[in-house]
Amino acid sequence: MLHILIRILLFASLGGLCGCTVFLVLVLISALRFRALKKRSVGDVREYPLASLLKPLCGLEARLESNLESFFSQDYPRFEIVFGLRNKYDPALAVVHRVSRRYPDVPIAVVLAGEPDRPNAKVCSLEKMVAAAKSDYLVISDSDVHVSPNYLKDVVCPLLSPQVGLVTCLYRGVPTDGIWARLEALGMSVEMTSGVLVADLLEGMKFALGPTMATRRDVLDAVGGMGVLVDYCADDYVLGKKVAELGRTVVLSSHIIDHVVLNDNWKASILHQVRWMRSTRFSRPAGHIGSGLTFAMPFGILGMAAGIALHHGAWAAALLGAALLNRVLMSIVAGWGVVGDDLALRDCWLYPVRDLMGFCFWIASFLGTTIVWRNQRYRLEKEGRMVLLADPSASDTGTVAVDSLA
């Protein structure tokens, strides 16, 4: 009986690795498709419209000044930057003014949003920032990203077509310091990129990625305004979904941005990644379950264990080797080939470790329904809504502490 069970596990490993190989092929096809689209020029635009960059801030973080300066130095004729902070005592405000003095020709506005009265603090700020923006072309971008000078042209240009409702960008992870930041950055560059590209290939873009969401005011009004997102954890996914449901196109831009990984210790990094997985579980339940079958290393380890138990050393080595090769190729194809992350090429040997970690995060996403955000405990419900728990002492064995959404 045990012998039969081990053989079943061996065949399960073979089946899982075949599925991961199919996924790798889809990533390769998607990568070639994306690179072909990337070669297309933005096109001749006689006059770019005024654009409003919306930048929510909350406290100091690594490389904040450099990140903000990359937005001030845009090769774009007319734009403003609207910053949102909770109060005038936020230390990020001093950084804003310091950078602004170096770019006196770039108009800025500072919105003091106050304390949030709804679950998603970022969206609470964005509601007031949208009202203060002078342009109908709104580009929402996180504080922990760095862009090149042609960023605004690349994300605004598609919005000149009435059919396009939203533009979003892939990103490569940029570690600040330490092995944990490197591993998390690899996940951004490889795992995230692979999933987005295959989703775009199979069903088209029906979601957005938070580091960049560019849209027009008429589109935002049509979905109900920023306020409809204020109860959701994954506001980026919900906004993209609502735009797609309007019948408008969500465009995956060819512009790749740098996403700075701020978590430089194991605890902060793990909690952040489990929180993201748990949010995805509620936002895209079917897709999240299916993503568990795309991790190759668990199948490779299972096959190795089954091969050893059956005294087939060659099978054990072959199955583990197949999983390792699969993940190394994934890192090279998605991380280096698509988002141009040199670390994904240099650290491709390390990606199998990140793949196994990703599987553990995926498992952990099912072990609870609550997150802790700024000392408040929230329960995640259908479609990723956050509900404040009235009793702060209420426990959940799967609670995950969350970094600021703002």
Q: Express each pLDDT in 355-386 by its tens digit.
A: 999 999 999 999 998 876 666 778 899 888 98
Q: Which residues contact 288 (CB under 8 A, 6 or more apart)?
A: 277, 280, 281, 362, 365
The half-sphere exposure of 43 on its side-chain side, counting CA atoms within 13 A, is 12
Q: Express each pLDDT in 285-295 by its tens digit.
A: 988 999 999 99
Judged on CB neighbours under 10 Å (0-12, 13-18, 19+), 123 is buried
Q: Express each pLDDT in 106-138 by its tens digit.
A: 999 999 999 888 888 899 999 999 999 999 999
Show the CA angle centred on residue 20, arms to residues 19 and 26, nearest 5°: 95
- At residue 122, φ and ψ (nearest 5 deg) are -60, -45
For 359, the enclosing helix (H) or strand (E) is: helix 351-364
Mean pLDDT for 320-337 is: 97
Alpha-carbon gap, residue 81 to 297, rounded angstroms: 44
Alpha-carbon gap, residue 322 to 305, rounded angstroms: 14
pTM: 0.91
Helix/strand/coil for 385? strand
Show the CA angle centred on residue 354, arms to residues 333 and 379, nearest 5°: 115
Nearest alpha-carbon partner for 259 in 139, 146, 141: 146
Helix/strand/coil for 135? coil
Return the amino acid letter for 16.
G
Extents of the domains making up the chain: 43-268
Q: What fold, for 43-268?
A: Spore Coat Polysaccharide Biosynthesis Protein SpsA; Chain A (3.90.550)
| pLDDT level of residue 42 (50, 70, 90 thresholds) | low
